[in-house]
Structure 1
Amino acid sequence: MSENRYRPRFHITAPTGRLNDPNGLFIEDGVLHVFFQKDPAYPFGAKRTGWGHASTPLQGEGAGEWTHHPDALYPDAAYDANGCYSGGAIRDEAGNVHLFYTGNLKETDPATGEMARRATQNSVSVEEVSSGLGGVFRRNPNNPLIDGPAEGYTAHYRDPMITRDPEGAAAYRMVIGAQRADETGAVVLYRSDDLERWEFAGELGFDVSSAEPGTSPDLVPGGYMWECPNLLSIRDEADGERYELFIICPQGLERQVDEAGTTHYASSDQCGYLVGHLEGTTFRVVRGFTELDYGHQFYAPQAVAEQGGLVPDSYLLFGWMGLPAQDDTPSVESEGWVHSLTLPRRVSLHGRTLRQRLVLPEIVCNRVEDHSMPDVGNVLHASELLKQEKVTFSVIDTSESVVVSATYSPLGQGSLSLTYKGDTRVVPCTPGELEIFVDGATVEITAQDGERAFSIAAFPTPGTRWSRIEFNR
């Protein structure tokens, strides 16, 4: 038995300590670079959140297997002494990569004598990323570029994500997750022509007058904070039209079960998307809020375009297979790490609905499918076509314990119910491709041709390994 029975082979984990949000994705010479929030001393040392760094070739030998590099960021500047928080990556017109992140500083408020948070937005230049060191990362001497929140917002003002502006109002646009002074969630927009000087354009507003519903109860969700926004231009495969894909993580939504038995907002922190068009600071919604992943651990996703141009056809997306304040897992004591990222998912838009396809490692793709892969490690893989017949499937370990179970029913509107540790999630589901990938303490499932996804940090019975994926009709 492998000494690391929980650590996945093909999912990014921190070598030691705690991992959370994916950050700063970019592709360089056919190599995908992924940064991530990292606390290497967890659970023994003080919280000192920086950025870890891993990479993999997208094709050929080693594709899908990760090389870890020295950490890219550590909180040692005056404006980020309490953490280099999440952010994104962008190429300038010369092709140079810049990372943007939120600097977190806790300082004494002279008016009250209490500790207060100071959030700033900062940039880092990236050089020599193909070197043995994994890159040289230099903080911008002009940091902070955005020194604190705009008026009317609290210090919960973070996670800058930058893309080129397809409307031409400026060369670049930045969205930041925010909390209003009344403790409700929002996203704000900035624009810049040079990645240095950022103009506050305003808060995004939402016009739902022509919106069709998504799969969630709300056209636009509420919540006390919106984290980790992504604002992405994308071409719809069905109608060829350009849309904006707006991904947000609203916190504070309450679990609901509707009349059809569908589960909504089941986790403590949510993630979903809207589809529409951005005009100035108004997001005209054409399809309302839909959860991006219905599983038990998924949050804070980030995406990078697979190809150039202002309006890509697809993106690669990673999510955090964890949730805030859920760090007590068996891997901490036994192997010294907690949480992973998802596999990369190829996301595309089809009929204003997002489809997610797992990008499997080549070593897995090249195998004959047998629902178990002992020579690859603690890995299982299965792909099935759901039709107009009831199907149950289970992920089983070598103790014959059913760790994850699911039932697909074609009756009525169709549904897929999935259970882990007694927590059952039920979502609408129609016939289409089902894919299951199990890798150490990770289980990822997509269904309905990628329109439904589940991410679960699932642990086999202590002392065992995965055995098989079992189907019953």
Structure 2
Amino acid sequence: MAGTSLAGWLLLAIYLPTIHGLRLAQMGTMSPNGGDDGVDFRPAYHITPPSNWMNDPNGLMERDGIFHVFFQFNPSAPIWGAPHWGHVASRDLAHWQRLPVALSPEETYDIDGVFSGSATVLPDGDPVIMYTGTSRRQELGFFWQVQALARPENGSDPLLQRWVKDPRNPVIEDAPPRGTNFQFRDPQTAWRQEVGEELGSLWLTTIGSQVSCVGAAPMYASRDFVKWEFFGYLHSQPGVVPSENETECTFGETQFGAEGRNWEVVCYFPKRVGEEVIHIFKYSDQIRGRTPFGRDWYVLSDVPLAFTNKTVPGQGNALTPSLRGAPFAPAIIDHGDIYASKFFNTSSGRLLWMGWSFETSTGCTGTCSDGTPLTDARGWQGLQTIPREVQVDLETGQLLMTPIGEVEALRSAQLFEQGGMKLVPGARRALPLKFPKGGSGGRQMDVSATFKLSDEASAEVSSTGFKVGVAVTHGRTGALTSVFLNGSLSAGGGGVEELEMWVDRSATGGATSANLQGGRVTLGGVAKEVTLRLLVDRSVVEAVGQGGRVRATSRVYPAGRGDWGLELFNEGAAGSVVAGVEAWEMEGAFVDDLW
């Protein structure tokens, strides 16, 4: 189903769910795990598709006080298919209005999919989208990828509801030297850059690629945003993971290998920190056999970009990952079920981040792109995380990423607030939540917890271990999802020495993947208390530890219909802790009209 005749149907599909989806919304569908999937598992205050399939966030931007989030969308089925660009908009980054499909596969160069891309607001205020157009070449059996532009049909429309593709498309057809048009996608937001006295100021963008069998981020340069030329490499896999492979390779399994990879959804943003400019570069990769299959990474640098326009990855990369004179190894953005994330700037100067969280229920493989009987029954897949504000901690050399303050506008009833709760070692304490009438029964919560640590062990012991956290209980079946911080506490009041955060889904039950997600926390200064923030929204738990120093977005699909609850626990040997908790009911994010 391709061609312009499809456009009218796609617009209708945004406002009306499929017949299958309508049945889910009205009646719910009993699933093999005993839950009402049409109601219980569909997040309410996260961005989700109107129905069917969602993946990468695209075109994140603010224009005239309106925030726009586009996303990869298959309007035909709850599995991956020829991507369109779905579209939602907001005035406050908390409440969102669904809008018509912005881009559809209907031209020769994008007939098999309008793949991911970005938006750039030009100096005159006009936005322009650059995206990857794909067409299947039967003689090769893979998607041929080029880059194309689209602009608003009516720039005075604050919601930018209709978009027109540039008649000069495709504007970038040539993959980088030793690259391939089968792995050449996801252009990032362009930036203006001084590149030397001879060339002056140019528009630059970078595109996820595979070159000589390794992941790379080639740059393309333009003076007018229409004519683009290869301009060397911003960064590449040899710059972070040395490889001896210098030969040309063909598309295939090499995309997913530990040695030869493809970088997707690359992202570069400079951020001013005091008097310095810190360069942030992010990439996504996929490796078969790794858990998770897809993962997002970042590197930092305080070294100015150097433009040499060399054609071999790793030789003359403009970006050198280095902070305070030491090489910067790739760091994990989120330890959970996210992929293809993007950064974007706001008019107030904040740097924000958002990522796609894919389904991981029973039977899913990879990012669940082929679906399962369970996801088919629900009629939808995928969500976008709550945007996170990004700060750079130069003391510890890491990104701090915390949920934006605007999400608090969705708080309604306060479910619980109390401090000074003493938990002796081995204690568990159920919190008496006060659910509002007509609320979610604990399925939509914003929870903040603080644990003040003490060391009651013998002075002869150099350090003691602690494990404290919050469990989200699921009904009366004993099922629960635990989020905890564990580590070692120095004897004599010296503070936390080691710290990790983990989401434990081993007792969640239902259709949940029973595993641990999390990792080490890099501490800044002496810490004598540890903190957790949980955004619970039906089938997702976004966990943020120690003020944004560690993040894990985990998907949960527990069985049963009872109310969810909260428990505090102290399972370590480091003595009693004193806990404080705030918990709020969260409203749904979608509105019919932003005004």
TM-score, normalization by structure 1: 0.84
Shift in CA distance, 465/20, structure 1 to aligned 2, threshold 3 Å: farther
In structure 1, distance between residues paired with 2:471 and 2:391: 28
Q: In the TM superposition, what are the counterparts of 1:74-473 in structure 2 within 5 Å?
A: 74-109=104-139, 114-128=140-154, 131=157, 134-154=160-180, 155-167=182-194, 169-180=200-211, 182-205=212-235, 223-236=260-273, 239-252=274-287, 255=290, 266-276=291-301, 277=303, 278-280=305-307, 281-286=317-322, 287-295=328-336, 297-307=337-347, 312=349, 314-322=350-358, 324-327=366-369, 328=371, 332-351=375-394, 352-359=397-404, 361-365=407-411, 367-368=413-414, 370=416, 375-377=438-440, 378-388=443-453, 390-411=467-488, 412-420=497-505, 421-429=513-521, 430=523, 431=527, 432-461=530-559, 463-464=560-561, 467-473=564-570
Q: Distance in 2 between matches of 1:163 and 1:245?
A: 14
Instruction: Say which SS state the counterpart of residue 123 (structure 2) adopts.
Output: coil
Question: Could you list the runs of 4 or more consecutive aligned residues of structure 1 that deviate by over 6 angstroms after TM superposition?
Answer: 206-210
Query: Deviation string for 1:251-288 (max 9, x for gaps)?
Result: 22765xxxxxxxxxx31111110001422142111232
Q: Cα deviation per residue 1:139-180 (whole Å; 9 max; x = unaligned)? A: 011100001412311221000002323445533211100012
Matched residues in 1 for 2:557 and 2:155: separation? Answer: 35
Identify the residue that residue 213 of structure 1 maps to in structure 2: none
Deviations 1:92-138 (A, max 9, x none): 121100011000111233xxxx4343110001002447749752201
Counterpart of 1:244 in structure 2: which amino acid?
H
Structure with bigger strand share is 1
Distance 1:31 1:159, change over 3 A: same
- Helix, strand or coil for the counterpart of 1:282? coil
Contact 1:320-1:341 within 8 A present in 2 as well: yes
Unaligned runs of 5+ in 1: 211-220, 256-265
Q: Displacement of 1:53 after TM fit?
A: 0.2
Structure 1 pair 449–26 and aligned structure 2 pair: CA distance change class (3 A): same
Q: Is 1:55 aligned to 2:82, yes or no?
A: no
Q: Which amino acid in the other structure matches residue 279 of structure 1?
A: A
Distance of aligned partners of 1:131 and 1:332 in 2 relative to their CA distance in 1, 3 Å threshold: farther
Q: 1:449 to 1:292 in 2, by over 3 A?
A: same
Counting matched residue pairs gives: 436
Q: In the TM superposition, what whole-angstrom CA distance separates every residue of 1:183-231 from its partner, at most 9, and x where no partner exists?
A: 3211111122221111211123469999xxxxxxxxxx96511110010
Structure 1: how far apart are the matches of 2:486 and 2:503? 12
Which is further off, 381-390 or 366-375?
366-375
Q: CA RMSD in A?
A: 2.9
After TM superposition, the structure 1 stretch with the greater mean CA deviation from structure 2, 163-172 or 17-26, is 163-172
Cα distance change, pair 28–330 in 1 and its aligned pair in 2 (3 A): farther
| Matched residue SS, 2:190 | strand
Q: Write the deviation string for residues 35-60 of structure 1: whole angstroms up to 9, x where unpaired.
A: 0000111148x9221100011221xx
Q: Which runs of 5+ in 2 are unaligned?
A: 1-27, 29-35, 241-257, 308-316, 323-327, 360-365, 417-430, 454-465, 489-496, 506-512, 571-595
Write the distance in 1 (CA, Å) between the matches of 2:41 and 2:210.
Answer: 37
Q: 1:193 to 1:209 in 2, by over 3 A?
A: closer
> Identity of aligned pairs, percent?
25
Q: Which amino acid aligns with 1:338?
A: Q
